[in-house]
Structure 1
Amino acid sequence: MDDSVNTRYPILLVHGLFGFDRIGSHHYFHGIKQALNECGASVFVPIISAANDNEARGDQLLKQIHNLRRQVGAQRVNLIGHSQGALTARYVAAIAPELIASVTSVSGPNHGSELADRLRLAFVPGRLGETVAAALTTSFSAFLSALSGHPRLPQNALNALNALTTDGVATFNRQYPQGLPDRWGGMGPAQVNAVHYYSWSGIIKGSRLAESLNLLDPLHNALRVFDSFFTRETRENDGMVGRFSSHLGQVIRSDYPLDHLDTINHMARGSRRRINPVELYIEHAKRLKEAGL
């Protein structure tokens, strides 16, 4: 039996905004949990709101960590968070570091998202447009949770958006600074309060014509449009999060040729010749194991 990534502590994969554990046969972390399990890791996907602020999602995550510890007898857990899931994981590690062995941010907006800033500017607070958009996206989040079998999870898309803007994350970072670099584009401390911090992310590279089957991927094409909304990290983003905005702790790499959804293995097949996202998770689990985590 393969036990190459049999980490000391269980791994929890924490989804981002509009995420879920699974809907039917479709998993948010596509093929990733299965691959890690096959290599000997103990992996769980917690059930948290598809849309809410970082603290609300974090409190849900913390409750499930307590339950998991009772079920499997683990003293601590490794958290791997994608997108907003990184902020959710950071919150838990900040308020309960004794329960967390490591936090890994995958495409996490650790300094905010310029895309969220643009969306926030598009809706005037208190006006009809904001009210309608918030109601629709909150309903969509509830629909996703219902499809995944968890209809009672609280949803608030407006709170989620505010929590992902540059200003919103700056406020969050003042309260929970663990793992953050002290200069833009640098690395943060690799360990704080006995919690290990890591991050990796990608950027959209090259022209559409150079991307083979990604030309046929509507989500990738949408992320290329979102790329044009960035001003600080123009051409250095994954369509939702800027390269340096993603930095946290030990930065493994922040310029993989992957867009925001590629890093959870939602990608056109033609791109697999360049890099396989699933292998990044397996390599990282080996890294955690080697670190005694």
Structure 2
Amino acid sequence: MKKRYWKSLALFLITLMALPAPSWAQGYTQTKYPIVLVHGLFGFDSLGPVDYFYGIASGLSSGGARVYVTSVSASNSTEVRGEQLLLQVKQILAATGAAKVNLIGHSHGGPTSRYVASVRPDLVASVSSVGGVNKGSKVADVLVGAVPNVTYDLANALSGLISLLSGSPTLPQSSRAAAESLSTAGTLAFNARHPQGVPTSACGEGAYQVNGVHYYSWSGAKPWTNALDAADPFLAVTGLAFNGEKNDGLVGSCSSRLGRVIRDDYALNHLDEVNQLIGITNLFETNPVTLFRQHANRLQGQGL
């Protein structure tokens, strides 16, 4: 009887060791290279107590990851933001002694990260696009064709205020350049110059690895997710621009695809994807912080 007990215990322990590490395990998010988070349009690193990637940086670092949150122009062209990000990547590498970084960009942060990987692939281990505008946004298409100059002026003022409050008052702002970059035509031109990881079919996957850089993406597909979230009515309205196409309120699911597609149909909207508004997201979907932690573990498994 005792012998059978010890055999059963040994079998249980062997089985337990073979299972994937739970998300709370020590070292679960500890990647080889630092993780660098890149915000989207009208984004910031932090505004007082509110982080753009709300609770995500701490959620990653608690599992062992080295995490850096960058700050680029709240609104500007992809190339301008990309050059700003490249400078910060070099600073992070100099400070840490790491050879490369893992870039994770949300919304406009997706193509911004892709720019850096395209011009300096030797500095980038991976690019992960979260709700990224990789083939344009129909919302941007509407804005480019209909918004008067005064609206761009107001948007520039808002962008300047965001940068000022987040501690980066000298960053240049151009909401018109941002809208043009995020439009279907602007993104098509950008992709011709920087095609790495972009699917060649309408709604497929792109190359998983190009020039040594690994490409991943995931996104939501539900504009309205929580009645308590003040941003949801706005996203429900902007989502109408997609005429029934699956979208997160600002980006179509097919447009969000890049490299290896984890999923493009989480029950999350564009702000939920980064755990906004201050953590008010869909209670019936995987928590966004968990999605980022799972992805860090995925990168860890790839030796990144």
TM-score range for the pair, normalised by the shorter chain length: over 0.9
Out of 158, 168, 174, the position equivalent to 1:140 is: 158
TM-score, length-normalised on structure 1?
Answer: 0.92
CA deviation map 1:179-213 (0-9, x unaligned): 011111110010000000000001117xx6xx5xx
Aligned residue for 2:283, secondary structure, equals: helix
Out of 182, 192, 213, the position equivalent to 1:164 is: 182
Paired with 1:270 and 1:155, the residues of 2 have a C-alpha distance of: 30
Paired with 2:109 and 2:50, the residues of 1 have a C-alpha distance of: 18
Other-structure match for 1:97: 121
Shift of 1:273: 3.3
Paired with 1:229 and 1:280, the residues of 2 have a C-alpha distance of: 27
Other-structure match for 2:135: 111
The answer to whether the Cα contact below 8 Å between 1:204 and 1:235 also exists between their aligned partners in 2 is no
Out of 18, 29, 33, the position equivalent to 2:42 is: 18
Tell me whether 1:237 sits opposite 2:247 in the alignment: yes
Q: Which amino acid counterpart does residue 259 of structure 1 have in structure 2? A: N
Tell me whether 1:278 sits opposite 2:276 in the alignment: no
Other-structure match for 2:191: 173
State, as a whole percentage, how many aligned pairs show the same letter: 47
Out of 256, 260, 265, the position equivalent to 1:246 is: 256
Out of 255, 274, 289, the position equivalent to 2:300 is: 289
Other-structure match for 1:266: 276
TM-score, length-normalised on structure 2?
Answer: 0.89
Tell me whether 1:215 sits opposite 2:233 in the alignment: no
Tell me whether 1:150 sits opposite 2:168 in the alignment: yes
Q: Which amino acid counterpart does residue 164 of structure 1 have in structure 2? A: L
Aligned residue for 1:189, secondary structure, equals: coil
Tell me whether 1:66 sits opposite 2:90 in the alignment: yes
Paired with 2:211 and 2:96, the residues of 1 have a C-alpha distance of: 24
Paired with 1:187 and 1:54, the residues of 2 have a C-alpha distance of: 22
Q: Which runs of 5+ in 1 are unaligned?
A: 124-128
Paired with 1:139 and 1:270, the residues of 2 have a C-alpha distance of: 29
Other-structure match for 1:196: 214
- Looking at CA atoms only, which structure, 1 or 2, has the larger radius of gyration? 2
Aligned residue for 2:270, secondary structure, equals: coil
Paired with 1:18 and 1:68, the residues of 2 have a C-alpha distance of: 23
Aligned residue for 1:198, secondary structure, equals: strand
Other-structure match for 1:256: 266
CA deviation map 1:205-245 (0-9, x unaligned): 7xx6xx5xx123221111011111113xx240001000001
Paired with 1:95 and 1:270, the residues of 2 have a C-alpha distance of: 35
Other-structure match for 2:238: 226
Aligned residue for 2:36, secondary structure, equals: strand
Tell me whether 1:7 sits opposite 2:31 in the alignment: yes
Shift of 1:120: 1.1
Paired with 2:219 and 2:201, the residues of 1 have a C-alpha distance of: 18
Q: Which runs of 5+ in 2 are unaligned?
A: 1-24
The answer to whether the Cα contact below 8 Å between 2:76 and 2:173 also exists between their aligned partners in 1 is yes
Shift of 1:133: 1.1
Aligned pairs, number: 279
The answer to whether the Cα contact below 8 Å between 2:208 and 2:215 also exists between their aligned partners in 1 is yes
